[in-house]
Amino acid sequence: MLYRSLLLVSLLTIFVTSIVPRSIPPRTGQCLPHDEIGHPANPKSQELIGYIRTGGTLEAEGVSLTDTTHYRAAATNEDVLINTIRGSLSEVPKVVSRQLSRVDSININTSHLIHLYHEVTSLSQQPGVLGVVVGFGSTLIVTAAKFLEHTIQPDKQVILTAALKPLTAYGAEGPGNILASFKTITTPGWNGVGILMNDRILRPHGTVKRNGYLHPGPGAYMADIRNFEPRLKRRHCEIPKTIDISGISPDQELPTVQTITRSIDFDIRIVEEAIARNVRSIIFVGHDDGYWPDESRFRIQELAKEHHRIVMVMVNEDPTIIVEYERVAGVMPGGDWIPDQLRIVLPFLLHLSYSKEEIQNFILEPFHVENQGGRRGS
């Protein structure tokens, strides 16, 4: 009888563990969720909030109150948006506003991002400025946030926010997102770069946008928004490694990086042509955790050996799939980076003459655990 009981328990254990999905382990140094710790502070008269406007749907104008598809991005001026929340601005410090650009985020390029970096840095260094809010387009908001996360000093407070409906449409969420962003800047208990959309605040690393919604990467869930105020859910224990780009101007020509995605019957000439154009780095988007079809893998290995100065990295589109092994000789693993986010950082590492070993270290360990280590260029 005892034997049967033990056998039954063993079988049940095997059955239960077989149907429970395995979770992705948290990043090293990431704190676990805890009780709400953030509440808006009472603003002081000498405190300021920086507000940088870049355009996007947040400032868009449609042809009618029901037009949410054929609007003109960045067509309205600051007063239209601010006037909708002016009655609540007494709850936050004085806002210092700058119009950086008027573009749809699909047209954002590296030059725009460098300009944004300089504006955020300039504003955040002004006396009394608590932090900076950036009004952005939703399409590339995560890419911009990831760029700022690794260029802005991590003791600053920067919130990027966007909207899915134009300012002139029913239910436009832009004004509320701006107000919530202002209140987040006055909230103690956090620093770094966050993205405020869909009534949540997320860290950029591993966060992706799908079907109009942001999906957080592992450990990226930072806060909920309730009544246009943040309620922090996670204390961030990782400090981003930062790249010093203070000496780089928006018109600086940077090394070329190309992204190449695997496919059935992949044409190796795509890689050969990229090398012929003197690219400095190739990001390969492979299968699963770094696999590449044998038909072209062997040729890629030969090319990596012949052109060893070219930095080749293997990643996956899904940040929960970690590429940690070098499955193609000469192509370094890309960890949990996704292509677009790595693509915006690599040119700066190359321009600043990071070695292959330093680039590999930055990719696999993009954060310092709290109170540990220094940062190159910071």
57 is a catalytic site residue:
yes
Q: In this structure, are residues 174 and 167 in contact, taking their beta carbons and an 8 Å threshold?
A: yes
CB 105 within 8 A of CB 116: no
Among candidate residues 208, 144, 62, the one with its CA nearest the CA of residue 343: 144
Compute the distance between CA of residue 58 and CA of residue 103 in angstroms, rounded to an integer: 11
> What residues contact 158, with CB distance under 8 A and at least 6 apart?
120, 124, 131, 132, 133, 134, 148, 152, 192, 193, 194
Element spanning 214, H or E: strand 213-215
Instruction: Name the token pair of 287.
Output: 């299968």
Written as one letter, the residue type at 37 is I
Given 54, 57, 139, 207, the catalytic residue: 57
Q: Copy the structure tokens of residue 187.
A: 């909230």
**By the 8 A CB rule, do 154 and 191 touch?**
yes
User: Counting Cβ atoms within 10 Å, is residue 70 exposed (0-12), middle (13-18) or buried (19+)?
Assistant: exposed
Classify residue 63 by its DSSP letter: S
Cα–chain center distance at 353: 24
Q: Is 235 within 8 Å of 192 (Cβ atoms)?
A: no
Give the other-Cβ count within 10 Å of 7's Cβ.
10
What are the catalytic residues? 57
